[in-house]
Structure 1
Amino acid sequence: MIKIYNRKTKQYEVEQVAGLSYLKWCYESPIGKSITELLIKKKLFSKLYGSFCDSSTSKKKIRPFIEEFNIDMSLANMKLEEFRNFNDFFARTLNAFARPIAQDRDILISPGDGRLSAFENIDLDKLVQIKGLTYSLKELICDDKVAKEYDGGVCLILRLCPTDYHRFHFVDDGICGETKNIKGKYYSVNPIALERVPKLFCQNKREWCIFKSENFGDIIHIEVGATCVGTIIQSYTPNVKVKKGYEKGYFKFGGSTTILFFKKDTVKIDEEIVHQTSLGYETKVLMGEAIGNKFK
């Protein structure tokens, strides 16, 4: 059972996990763990499933998925019958009113929908994956020189579930550099997997870049792939100025993760989110929602 914190109700909710039985089998049973290591974590498995989700045959999965997880389709730009396949639906865009953006330049917004963990005054060699398991920023981005600049800063981990809106956005006005690609495996990023696979984020496929934001300094923006996320699409144009809330890219099918790193004394995350993280709970957030402020 995975509990997440709801900022609006001030209550904990039990997360409705897509494929819960499958995840438990893959990461908790002896046979499942063996098959995960032999097949499921590998690129071929995710690529094959991704091809299915791109096919017209996968369209029949859309309506049952919407009904099972009570997804509000009134927020989407396309109607159910307009989707050509499951990935069309999964990477759907939302209408202009679905995700209002906090416009104050000193307010930090969430880059996407998901479950947020926030860590302040970070130790670059002991970043928290989940209680008891750590990794280093150097391992995550494979660049020691850049990593050293973020010691004592802030790390935000936004975990997206298959039921979430799967596009990620810029948190401020600024200019984003070229994306660097790091090949890797395709473990699930669900807490069930995070508890059992050491340095999972450093093992999975990932992409990262430096976003030179106008109000929060240079931000490391990382997208981590996962099981059945064979493709991370970067839809932005490098080295061209963007506005706060503009789309940066999107994930195809599967749960995924966006990670942001801020330098020391550039941003202050809402105490409520930091406190819930310290208790071991992720906080439910939506893209454009205020999650912090410029450090003063």
Structure 2
Amino acid sequence: MLQGLYRLLIELTNGRWTSVVLKKFARSRVSRFVVPSFARIYQINLEEMEKGLSGYPTLHDLFVRTLKKEARKIDPQTDSVVSPVDAVLEDVGKIKETSDIMVKGKTYSIGEMLGDPDILSKYLNGTYMILYLSPSHYHRIHSPVNGTVTKQWELGSKSFPVNKWGLKYGRATLSKNYRVITEVKTNYGHAAIVKVGAMFVNSIETTHKGSELEKGGEMAYFSFGSTVVLLFEKGIFQMDQTLHTPQELKVGERLGILVK
């Protein structure tokens, strides 16, 4: 019963007022009473958290929890691309010349997702990867590559579910939801990290300072479950052949390598 209630509140509630109410509740001291049951129902790994459950005075604090330093290993290979989040790899494929991608039987526009035709041109015939975070996942976002931020911008105003049902039945959620896009120049070419909001409250907070990104370094966090879309220029990314969809991944695990 509790699991169904949490799913209803967190994954499927996307109206203006209901989302505002949920946001206020999650940040209130009253929400501390549901922290233990939430952690139990979503099977959150308590051993890797930086604090014990009593150290999280609100549900929001649990959502944006940090981990012990040794909890995630970052792939050390110089040219590797790593998972920026703990998530499920939902889809991977080629970006068509038309800028379209096919996800769960629906067509999405990378052009609409990026909102900038000049930037879009770099990614035509390139590769996309979609990583979905559920409420049970660690919600901090880390850089998948070493590089320099060339541009960061926000688009969209509303956010609807981006779980597998939202992707299948929603209205262009990946390309219309509120999103924060970071483009990074690497030694091999450009990559874009698209952080997609999942709820009307659009809770994406950036944390990195300056223009330099270090692979595995923290960039931002989601207050609720959401999605990260990675985009790579044509010819610069080779996916690890051991990957499949759907597949659970953790921050720092290798997604593939960058090539020239």
Match runs of 1:191-202 below 5 Å: 191-202=164-175
1:125 aligns with 2:99: yes
Tell me which residue corresponds to 1:31: none
1:142 aligns with 2:106: no
Tell me which residue corresponds to 1:93: 66
Tell me which residue corresponds to 2:25: 52
Q: 1:113 aligns with which of 81, 86, 91?
A: 86
One-letter identity of the residue aligned with 2:108: Y
Q: Distance in 2 between matches of 1:109 and 1:169?
A: 9
Q: Give 1:43 shift.
A: 3.8
Give yes or no for contact 2:195–2:227 (8 Å, CA) kept in 1: yes
Tell me which residue corresponds to 1:102: 75
Give yes or no for contact 2:43–2:136 (8 Å, CA) kept in 1: no
One-letter identity of the residue aligned with 1:85: T
Tell me which residue corresponds to 2:132: 159
1:271 aligns with 2:244: no
Q: Distance in 1 between matches of 2:124 and 2:68?
A: 38
Match runs of 1:135-284 below 5 Å: 135-214=108-187, 216-227=188-199, 230-239=202-211, 241-253=212-224, 255-273=225-243, 276=244, 281-284=245-248
After superposition, the C-alpha distances for 1:227-252 in whole angstroms (9 at most, x for unaligned) are: 3653100001242x232110000000
Tell me which residue corresponds to 2:8: 22
Quote the RMSD (CA, aligned, Å). 2.2
Q: Distance in 2 between matches of 1:160 and 1:21?
A: 13
Q: SS in structure 2 opposite 1:272?
A: coil
One-letter identity of the residue aligned with 1:294: L
One-letter identity of the residue aligned with 2:218: E
Match runs of 1:52-91 below 5 Å: 52-91=25-64
After superposition, the C-alpha distances for 1:138-191 in whole angstroms (9 at most, x for unaligned) are: 111211121121111110111000000001101122222443111332211111
Give yes or no for contact 1:175–1:238 (8 Å, CA) kept in 2: no
Give yes or no for contact 2:159–2:173 (8 Å, CA) kept in 1: no
The total of aligned residue pairs comes to 256
Distance verdict in 2 for CA 1:238–1:46, change over 3 Å:
farther
Point out where structure 1 has 5 or more consecutive residues left out of the alignment. Answer: 1-16, 27-39
Q: Distance in 2 between matches of 1:154 and 1:117?
A: 14
TM-score (norm 2): 0.90
After superposition, the C-alpha distances for 1:8-43 in whole angstroms (9 at most, x for unaligned) are: xxxxxxxxx8758739x96xxxxxxxxxxxxx4344
One-letter identity of the residue aligned with 1:77: E
Give yes or no for contact 1:18–1:162 (8 Å, CA) kept in 2: no
Q: Give 1:213 shift.
A: 2.5
4+ aligned runs moved over 6 Å, structure 1: none
One-letter identity of the residue aligned with 2:194: I
Give yes or no for contact 2:112–2:176 (8 Å, CA) kept in 1: no
Q: SS in structure 2 opposite 1:97?
A: helix
Q: Distance in 1 between matches of 2:7 and 2:17?
A: 22
